[in-house]
A and B are shown apart, each in its own frame.
Chain A
Amino acid sequence: SQQGEEDPQALSIQEGENATMNCSYKTSINNLQWYRQNSGRGLVHLILIRSNEREKHSGRLRVTLDTSKKSSSLLITASRAADTASYFCATLGAGSYQLTFGKGTKLSVIP
Chain B
Amino acid sequence: GAGVSQSPRYKVAKRGQDVALRCDPISGHVSLFWYQQALGQGPEFLTYFQNEAQLDKSGLPSDRFFAERPEGSVSTLKIQRTQQEDSAVYLCASSLAIPGSVNYGYTFGSGTRLTVV
Interface residues of A (CB under 8 A from B): 1-2, 4, 30-31, 33, 35, 41-48, 50, 88, 90, 92, 94-104
Interface of B is mostly: loop
Q: Is B109 an interface residue (CB 8 A)?
A: yes
Q: How far is the CA of A95 from the CA of B93 in the complex (A)?
A: 19
Name the interface residues of B33-85: CB closer than 8 Å to any CB of A: 33, 35, 40-45, 48, 50, 55-56, 58-59
Q: Are A41 and B99 in contact (CB under 8 A)?
A: no
Most chain B beta-carbon neighbours within 10 Å: one of A2, A43, A47: A43
Q: How far is the CA of A101 from the CA of B38 in the complex (A)?
A: 12
Residues of B within 8 A of A98 (CB): 45, 48, 56, 58-59
Q: Are A100 and B111 in contact (CB under 8 A)?
A: no
Residues of A within 8 A of B48 (CB): 97-98
Residue ID in chain B nearest A89 by CB atoms: B42
1/0 per residue, CB under 8 A from A, across B105-117: the answer is: 1111111000000
Name the interface residues of B4-25: CB closer than 8 Å to any CB of A: 4
Q: Are A97 and B99 in contact (CB under 8 A)?
A: yes
Q: How far is the CA of A65 from the CA of B41 in the complex (A)?
A: 23
**Those 8 A-B pairs whose CB atoms lie nearest each other, nearest first:** A45-B105, A101-B42, A42-B108, A30-B100, A43-B108, A97-B48, A42-B110, A98-B45
Residues of B within 8 A of A44 (CB): 108
Residues of A within 8 A of B108 (CB): 35, 42-45
Q: How far is the CA of A30 from the CA of B42 in the complex (A)?
A: 20
Given the known inter-chain contacts A97-B48, A98-B59, please indicate yes or no for A43 contacting B43, CB distance below 8 A. yes
